[in-house]
A and B are shown apart, each in its own frame.
Chain A
Amino acid sequence: MPTVTTVVIGAGHCGLAMSRCLADRSIDHVVLERGEVANSWRTERWDSLRLLTPNWLTRLPGYSYSGDDPDGYLSAPEVVRLIDDYATVTDAPVRTSTTVTSVQQSDGGYLVHTDQGSWQARSVVLASGACNLAHVPAVQEAVPAGIIMLNPMTYRTPDRLPDGGVLVVGASSSGIQIADEVHRSGRPVTLAVGEHVRMPRVYRDRDILWWMEASGLLDERIEEMPDIVRARSLPSMQLVGSPDRATIDLNVLTGMGVTLVGRLAAIRDGQAQFSGSLLNVCALADLKLGRLLDTIDAWASHAGLNGGAAPERFAPTELPASPPLTLDLRNGQIHTIIWATGFRPDLSWLDVPVLNRKGQVIHDRGVTRSAGLYLIGMPFLRRRKSSLIDGAGPDAQELTAHLAGHLDAPA
């Protein structure tokens, strides 16, 4: 059986950043990839999706954007090319078409079984991603027959949907983008809205992520957060990476004619029932956006950035006095339901006792309690930007330092 010091599982941007950092320390390793490099960007993205972060923020260890559109957003094929190129220039030891079937503790290290043979390693880095499975709530079982159900991994383009109404469940990044383009295609959208993070694409003439990066918000560390569970379970920002730098928030969608309803709470006798909490989740999001802009303005003022566009505050989310509480799924009005209700990692092959009762890896900033087993690429793993491409580098550097310390420690 081949032995290697470190096995990295997953050749996306995190696995490759990790590989680059391991190589910098001359730690021999392989990167195992079930498909091709950047597999999920090749196979699990809808057609129009662009990266939510601007090109200048698309950085990896030893790589930064050098093209002529620093403020643009890469399309999915462009992201594939970027990650592919990164694998090539870093000369990452990637084994493609190699699916990990199990990881077990063995002989002070780990036994990694794949469909292409097994590896014995002293350490393993889980870099297979936070978004392997579309999470769909159990209420889907009550959807009447005949309604087509999709999720952001199976949805491609509005043209492939039947004509007629569409219920989009979830108003985070995926949900608002899909609601926007589906409604524009002439299929009237009802959008079920739970907790969400409202965000303008551009604020005071700059990308909102520029402000968050410059003011230090993206670099905030998990240990500074008063509530780790809350920080890590925050919904994705309501952002879209479109060439015209458009903002899509609930007011924009309402203006287009999208019907907003509360969180989908139940389906009974073919009737979808929505929560009466819509006013409050919108109030929470409006207040949270206000606090973010207060922070940004205070930072700008402190940093002497008072030129350019003046501070502004956005209109509160507009809602009808009595948003609908039910929607008949049997009267032919709704033909499609798109579940934009989040993603989960798939670690069904991990046979190491580091999972909590919900099947999530227990870890301290990516370091598991099983010595030599590491995790990267999860929301707020070590810092707010851990889920962004730009967060992979610093996380990988710190985890590699920890991993090197583990290798140096007496067995």
Chain B
Amino acid sequence: MTATDTPIDNGVNVEALLGVRDALPETPDMAQFQWRATCSWVKGTHSRSDVNTFYGFGGEQEHKSTFSYDADHPLAFAAEDHGSTPVEYVLVALGSCLTAGVASVAQQRQIQLRSVHATIEAEMDLHGILGADPDVRNGFSGIKVTYKIDADATPDEIKALVAQSQKRSAVFDIVANPTNIAVEVN
């Protein structure tokens, strides 16, 4: 990284995050979070999901406003294409989680970012979800993320940023590792 008179500012308040981490040993319950979304069927494969409240830091929390997401399938699937497919939301989640991590780690390591751009690509064999071949899984057979980063840092420092971001990423962990899922009907 380069010495500079301008303070490094990627717009991430690392001090606040580290303050939370330092407070956790005294108040581990503060770290217990619950994330929530609701999803309602609209028509066909079109659904709308809302995100508003979550639990954390020892109490109920709320976003500034309710965020809504339309999910559907493309015309080629004989659907009306009112929104991204659910699997594309997974790519959005992975890319945005890793990119938030890149910015945070860069701030912590005093690396000024100028631009960060990720392309997220996932391979899938439709035989799986169509039930056409029991040997093919429903999900992705692999995911590839390609970063283009312009920053005041050496190529190895930039690679280390991206590696550390993966190490600390919630979505990377969720996608890379098994998670128990309970789906109930009330």
Contact = CB atoms under 8 A, between A and B. Distances in A.
Interface residues of B, number: 18
B88 to A, nearest CB: 19
Contact of A277 (B160, B164, B166): B166
Given A284-B164, A356-B25, A276 B177 contact: yes
Nearest to A279: B166
**A262, A263, A280, A291: residue with the most chain B Cβ atoms closer than 10 Å:** A280
Contact of A273 (B25, B28, B167, B178): B178
**A275, A276, A322, A356: residue with the most chain B Cβ atoms closer than 10 Å:** A276
Contacts of B175: 276
A287 B176 contact: no
Given A290-B156, A356-B25, A357-B28, A284 B176 contact: no
Interface of B is mostly: helix
Contacts of A273: 177-178
Interface string B98-116: 0000000000000000000
A404 interface: no
A344 interface: no
A266 interface: yes
B163 A280 contact: yes
Contacts of B164: 284
Given A195-B167, A284-B163, A287-B160, 17 more contacts: A262-B176, A263-B177, A265-B176, A265-B177, A273-B177, A275-B177, A276-B175, A276-B176, A276-B177, A277-B173, A280-B163, A280-B167, A283-B159, A284-B167, A287-B156, A287-B159, A287-B163
Interface of B: 25, 28, 141-143, 156, 159-160, 163-164, 166-167, 172-173, 175-178
Interface of A: 195, 262-263, 265-266, 268, 273, 275-277, 280-281, 283-284, 287, 290-291, 322, 356-357
